Amino acid sequence: MTSRRSFLHSSLLAAGAAALPAFAADKTAAPPPAPKAIDGARVVSTWDFGVGANQAAWKRLGEGGAALDAVEAGARWAEADLCNSTVGRCGNPDRDGVLTLDASIMDGDGRCGAVAALEDIAHPVSVARRVMERTPHVLLAGAGAQQFAVEQGFAKEPLLTDKARAAWNEWRKTSQYQPVINAERLDHARPGDKHNHDTLGILAIDRSGKLAGACTTSGMAWKLHGRVGDSPIVGAGLYVDNDVGAATASGVGEEMLRNAASFLVVELMRQGRSPDEACREAIERVVRKRPQASKTLQVCFLAIDKHGEVGAHALHRGFVYAVCDAGKRDALLDAPSVYATEQT
């Protein structure tokens, strides 16, 4: 017996688009899939500097460009930002004074690429895109990632700034060379806020309804040399699926890695949760797994679904995200949080 679903599928294949109106006349048949409710392109990014990243992305999206090009442009903007000590060329180094960069990029069709612990290359997100487009692999790390970047024509240049070196020297005075997760802030006073967790996660939907995302960071400051966070791990710091939506994360990457967190957010949306609900549920999962640790670290999720609806949630207060759509809205929004602790 032919099932209703396979009948519908084979009918669509056989009949082609021209025959679709026949469905409207047949009240017993299921309607064809609703057209995507995209009222225009949209881009969202983590943290306040996401406003600048969104503007760079909007230059592509607003002209009808592809989401993938837009998120790469936004991420490159953040990587070049000379005021940002947590992404790209001005990032803080690890505990040995070495600046290592992590990045990933993902298209809604499932293609993805990433680099981890990359040294002396200014635009890891673009290297990640080359991994995606020009190799059979997804993730390149360390010296191999750098070798690939140079072969691809990226300039090798020392990136550590005087400011970052000075901050590292300051940290060494009090750290006793112990890596402390969540400790980029020199006062160590807060469980985590925008000053100590500032990965750029950027998600976009273009006019054709296609999604893409990118994530770029220098990772946790003063980390152990060789430590890789969530940002270059597809499914942890970033996940995108045209059928559902996209999610990205910022905060203490170990928690995202433990929970395959961005994948989790997308799968929750697949099960029917709104982007807000999915982000909140993923945060609650983090808390359930590590209730004590959750009190002293920051985890933040940002998501967009295939209709362009945006949602976010954080463990602690202080996570802001930027939304830009069709020139109508260019806003910085406060994410709701599980704990009301003020993180300033």
Residue 326 CB-density burial (10 A; 0-12 exposed, 13-18 middle, 19+ buried): middle
- Total number of residues binding ligand SD4 (CB under 6 A)? 14
> Min. distance of Cβ 49 from ligand SD4 in angstroms?
11
Q: Which is nearer to ligand SD4, 182 or 242 (CB)?
A: 182
Q: Which is nearer to ligand SD4, 230 or 241 (CB)?
A: 230
Q: Which is nearer to ligand SD4, 60 or 197 (CB)?
A: 197
Query: Distance (Å, rounded) from C-alpha 131 to C-alpha 11?
Result: 39
The catalytic residue among 199, 216, 217, 248 is 199
Query: Distance (Å, rounded) from C-alpha 123 to C-alpha 104?
Result: 11
Query: Distance (Å, rounded) from C-alpha 29 to C-alpha 25?
Result: 9
Of 109-117, 160-168, 245-253, 322-330: span binding ligand SD4 (CB under 6 A): 245-253
Query: Distance (Å, rounded) from C-alpha 244 to C-alpha 262?
Result: 13
Tokens 């025959």 — which residue? 19
DSSP string of 303-325, one letter each residue:
EEETT--EEEEEEETT-EEEEEE
Kindly state the tokens that stand for 172.
């060494």
Q: Is 217 in the site for ligand SD4 (CB under 6 A)?
A: yes
Give the residue from 265, 251, 240, 76 showing the smallest Cα distance to 181: 251
Q: Provide the sign of the torsion angle of the four alpha carbons 265, 123, 139, 56, taken in this order.
A: positive
Q: Is 235 in the site for ligand SD4 (CB under 6 A)?
A: no
Q: Is 343 in the site for ligand SD4 (CB under 6 A)?
A: no
229, 235, 308, 318: residue in contact with ligand SD4 (rule CB under 6 A): 229
**Measuring CA to CA, how many Å separate 300 from each of 75, 154, 240, 249?**
18, 32, 17, 6
- Residue 51-90 contact track with ligand SD4, rule CB under 6 A, x = bound: -----------------------------------x----
Of 65-73, 224-232, 260-268, 282-290: span binding ligand SD4 (CB under 6 A): 224-232
Q: Which is nearer to ligand SD4, 101 or 140 (CB)?
A: 101
Q: Which is nearer to ligand SD4, 41 or 106 (CB)?
A: 106
199: annotated active-site residue: yes
Interacting residues toward ligand SD4 by CB under 6 A: 86, 197-199, 217, 219-220, 229-231, 250-253
Residues designated catalytic: 199
